[in-house]
Structure 1
Amino acid sequence: MTGWRRSSSLHSLRTAVIAAVCTATVGASLSGCGVFPGTSGGSRAPVTVMTFAPDETKATNMPGMPAMAQAFARYVNSRDGIDGHQLRVLTCNERNTSSGAAACARRAVRENAIAVVGSYSQHGRAFMAPLEAAGIPYIGGYGISDEEFTSYLSYPINGGQAALLAGNGRQLATGCRKVSLVRPDTVAGDDLPVLLNAGLAEGNRKASSDIKAAEDSTEYAAKAEEALDDAGNEDGCVTAVLGERTETFFDSFRRLREESGADVRVSSVLSSVDQPLIDRTGGASGPFEGALMTGWYPNAGDARWGTMRDVIREHAFGDNRIDAADAGVQTTWIAYTVLKKVIETLDRPEITAGAVTHALDSGVRVDTGGLTPSLRWRYADMLGTPGFPRVVNRGVTFQVVRDGRLVAQREGFVNVTTTMRNATTA
């Protein structure tokens, strides 16, 4: 990554002294160690941003996202910040509740954050309203809530669950005679069958069943049996999108499939199944061997993730919350890449939320090093369809689990623009 400002010798000496003190002092305050700096050490003002995500809840947890944000701050601050601005990262646990999401957003407003970056929450209405009232942009959300693709202050970096399900349908349209979908019994989950069917329709297929399941259940034996029965015994497929509980579902499903001897293939999307989960459940001998997966980004072993891996190794200090193969961590990395580019483009002593928003609306283009297609948020770049008007990245990747590793089933990005548009008119 380029564009770092040269430090004066005095500032470099000051930075070295602070780093030495922080390294030697176990109980040192983070505010003095570069993660939450109070001063920039130069003429350019520090910038404050927030990253929030759920942690220690009964449903999906994403602790790696705020941890990645903190590692990114240490990374850029060790190089005199972003264009001379030290980066102050606030983190917040939104607890998978609307009240928690709203509380995080209100804190971002109180602390004069210029943006909320690389965050996760299903409760878009709760967090977007305070941000909109304060004029704070939401950059690179995980893609799980409707408001991320409708709010005028949201700047998504992927196509969200919508793109994944549309892509998953296209991926399964070849080779799956019948498809059973298992998805959360939530408002966000209600769009998923329509999107999956839009993709399947391109191969003259349609989902055999739409099985609603509680996203915080501790067992799914009944749902697994329903999905297996509906998929059939030959060339059937079951795709489950239950976030963190997808593992629990497929644990039940594997036992039933082995008992019945049914030849049913499994599938999911990379927001619910990733390489750490595949490793944890047995790798090549686990339930996901041969599974078809749709993702937003290249597989975790791709060389394009090299810079992120270097930053994690050098600046995460052994933080076991961060896994480079986690889709949440990857999303946060890309979102902060966008923030960095915007701040560098502004090239001014003080950065405001309004200035960031104006730059994004005016067409700043971000090259993510091939991790996504080139990103830009002009009106002309957006999908513009009901439900997902602000989607600018309609690319997904098709992956498959071979010998316990997620690898590319098809090279490059698959554009699901037409599929998503067909879903909104179905």
Structure 2
Amino acid sequence: MKLRSCVLAAVLVTATACGTSGGGGGSGATLELFQIGPIESQTASLPMLQTGAQAAVDEINAAGGVHGKQIKLTTCNDRYDANEALRCAQEGARGDAVALVGSLSNFGAQVLPVLEEAGLPSIGADAITPVDAQSTANYLFDPGVPAFAGMPFVAAQQMGATKIASIHIETAGTATTQSYFDLGAKAAGVQNVAVYEIPADTLDYATYIAQATAAGAQVFVSSMSPEANLKLWKAIADAGSPIKVVASAGTVSEAVITEAGAAAEGSYVVAGTPDANPTNPTGQAFTAALQKYSPGTASSGLGLRAWASVHLFAEVAGGIQGDVTRESLTAALNQVDGLDFLWIDGLSFAKPGPIAELPRIASATVFPSRIQGGKLVPLDSLDPFGATP
């Protein structure tokens, strides 16, 4: 797999080189980008969204920016709260941002109408609910949460499971997330014997492990946060249970795996993006960026998506003749067709994506990995919306 984006190669080059020689990026000294996400909250704290996006901003700025202009990123913490998410969307719409990049919000129903009215495109958000994958404001290059449909496939293909249990932190989007698990379970031919929605402040997971084991579940499929997955693995170890976990790679860093220890061995993660480690060209470029611009930050799938989002912005904006504005950027995104970008062959926003019900998702491919020796070992990618186990 080659790293083919013209803003990313063995050595980063300027985004201006990706565009034409004419035109600049607006009348200001900088190009403003905006981001929305639960950077810190009781339900889930995902600071990797901000650090991933900022690492890309720093890379591009160090290489000369876009049309010679530096990029500035503003991140708004929605605290996993609908009112805060709406406030963030309004702040972004009122400001000078030409795009959102690498956002994640459980409240697309509140956020997206504001973006649509403001003509503010959102690049590379994490699709969570169906509205995220249907809104014309969104330009999504990976399946996001719908990739969770791949977790039952992995449980069946790689672990020989016939029965699984689903576990979630209780949020407004739990029902939608579970629907993706159900879709994957049906297609993979596995039985979902229990569904758990637990409060964010839960400390004791032993009850859920005992109940799931008694119901015959061999695997937990988890949509939970890094902290919650760590508690789950520790409880599995304390219980001496053989049950394994398939979780989102976006919330399972190697730091979490190390802390989980032996309890995580033999479990799996699934992501809509390649592994956020040097086992592949995209992961190699991402981890190099973190090491240079945010040393000490753990790599994760969520951070990689946010980083890639900024690079896609630079790729498209670099090709605009004239000012880079919300309008010109939207027009340029709508013309993207057949772009080889990072791991994606033929990225296109000029036509609906491959999932009929989720047309704004450009690629349905998901990437599983096995936890082995305290590391993530990549496996072959799959399409849970079209493949069979």
Please give the range of the TM-score, normalised by the shorter of the 2 chains.
Answer: 0.7 to 0.9
* Aligned residue in 2 for 1:278: 257
Q: CA deviation at 1:373?
A: 4.4
- The DSSP-based 3-state class of the residue aligned with 1:418 is coil
Instruction: Give the aligned partner of residue 307 of structure 1.
Output: 285
Deviation >4 Å, runs of 4+: 3-6, 40-45
Give the C-alpha shift of residue 42 in structure 1.
11
How big is each residue's C-alpha offset from its partner over 1:89-142, in whole Å with a ceiling of 9 and x where there is no partner? 112211111121112211212222111101122111222222112110111112
Alpha-carbon separation, structure 2, partners of 1:275 and 1:90: 27
- C-alpha RMSD over aligned residues: 2.5
Relative contact order: is structure 1 or structure 2 higher (C-alpha 8 Å, sep ≥ 6)?
A: 2
The superposition leaves residues 363-406 of structure 1 with CA deviations (integer Å, 9 ceiling, x where unpaired) of 34443322x44422122435221xx2322110011211111111
Aligned to 1:22: none
Q: Deviations over 1:206-240 (max 9, x none)?
A: 211222222443333322322222235xxx22222
Output one character per residue of 1:245-287: Cα deviation in whole Å (capped at 9) or x when no partner.
Answer: 222233223322x1xxx543332221333322102222xx2x1
Letter aligned with residue 175 of structure 2: D
What one-letter code is carried by the residue in structure 2 that aligns with 1:301?
P
1:297 equivalent in alignment to 2:273: yes
Structure 2 CA distance, aligned partners of 1:399 and 1:62?
21
> Which runs of structure 2 are paired with 1:206-225 in the superposition (5 Å)?
206-225=191-210
In structure 2, the partner of 1:328 is: 302
**Structure-2 change in CA distance of 1:191 and 1:44 (3 Å):** closer
Give SS of 1:108's match.
Answer: helix
Q: Aligned to 2:181, what secondary structure does the other structure show? A: helix
CA distance in 2, matches of 1:393, 1:5: 27
Following superposition, the deviation at residue 55 of structure 1 comes to: 2.8
SS in 2 for 1:345: coil
The unaligned stretches of length 5 or more in structure 1 are 7-39, 421-426
- The CA distance in 2 between the partners of 1:209 and 1:4, in whole Å, is 49
Match of 1:69 among 27, 36, 53: 53
Residue 384 (structure 2) aligns with: 416
* Partner Cα distance (2:340, 2:29) in 1: 26
Distance 1:218 1:143, change over 3 A: farther
1:41 is displaced (CA, Å) by: 11
**Distance apart, 1:81 and its partner CA:** 0.8
Q: How does 1:335-354 map to 2 (within 5 A)?
A: 335-348=309-322, 350-354=323-327
Q: Shift of the alpha carbon at 1:151?
A: 0.9
Q: How does 1:12-411 map to 2 (within 5 A)?
A: 46-163=30-147, 165-174=148-157, 175-231=160-216, 236-244=218-226, 245-256=228-239, 258=240, 262-282=241-261, 285=262, 287-299=263-275, 300-304=277-281, 305-316=283-294, 318=295, 320=296, 322-323=297-298, 325-348=299-322, 350-370=323-343, 372-385=344-357, 388-408=358-378, 410-411=379-380
Task: Tell me how far apart the structure 2 counterparts of residues 42 and 181 of structure 1 sit (CA, whole Å).
Answer: 48
- Give the deviation of 1:44 after TM superposition: 7.8
Kindly provide the amino acid, as one letter, of the partner of residue 321 in structure 2: D
In structure 2, what is the Cα distance between the partners aligned to 1:3 and 1:365? 22
SS of structure 2 residue aligned to 1:346:
coil
List gaps (5 residues or longer) in structure 2. 1-7, 18-23
Q: Secondary structure at the match of 2:246?
A: strand
Change (3 A) 1:216 1:272: farther
Instruction: Give the conservation status (yes or no) of the 8 Å contact 1:169–1:200.
Output: yes
* Structure 1 residue 43 displacement after superposition: 8.0
TM-score under structure 2 normalisation? 0.86
Q: Is the 8 A contact 2:56 2:308 kept in 1?
A: no
**For 1:333-376, what per-residue CA distance to the aligned partner results, in whole angstroms no more than 9, with x for missing partners?**
1111210111012132x111111111112234443322x44422
CA contact (8 A) 2:37 2:77 kept: yes
Q: Are the equivalent residues in 1 in contact too, given 2:16–2:318 (CA < 8 A)?
A: no
Instruction: Provide the residue aligned with 1:9 in structure 2.
Output: none
Q: Deviations over 1:48-67 (max 9, x none)?
A: 11123223321211112222
Separation (CA, whole Å) in 2 of partners of 1:48 and 1:380:
28
Contact 1:55 1:61 in 2 (8 A): yes
Larger Rg: 1
Q: Which amino acid aligns with 1:238?
A: F
Rounded to whole Å, the distance in 1 between the matches of 2:213 and 2:382 is 29
Q: Check the 8 A contact 1:341/1:366 in 2, yes or no.
A: no
Q: How many corresponding residue pairs? A: 366
> Could you tell me how far apart the structure 2 residues matched to 1:292 and 1:134 are?
40
Alpha-carbon distance change, 4 to 377 in structure 1, aligned in 2, over 3 angstroms:
closer
Q: Distance in 2 between matches of 1:362 and 1:264?
A: 47
What TM-score, normalized by structure 1, do the two folds share?
0.79
Code of the aligned partner of 2:229: T
Query: CA offset at residue 169 of structure 1?
Result: 1.4
For the Cα contact (< 8 Å) 2:339–2:345, is it kept in 1?
no
Query: Does the CA-based 8 Å contact 1:119-1:141 persist in structure 2?
Result: yes
What amino acid maps onto 2:278 in structure 1? G
SS of the equivalent of 1:107 reads helix
Q: Helix, strand or coil: the match of 2:341? A: coil
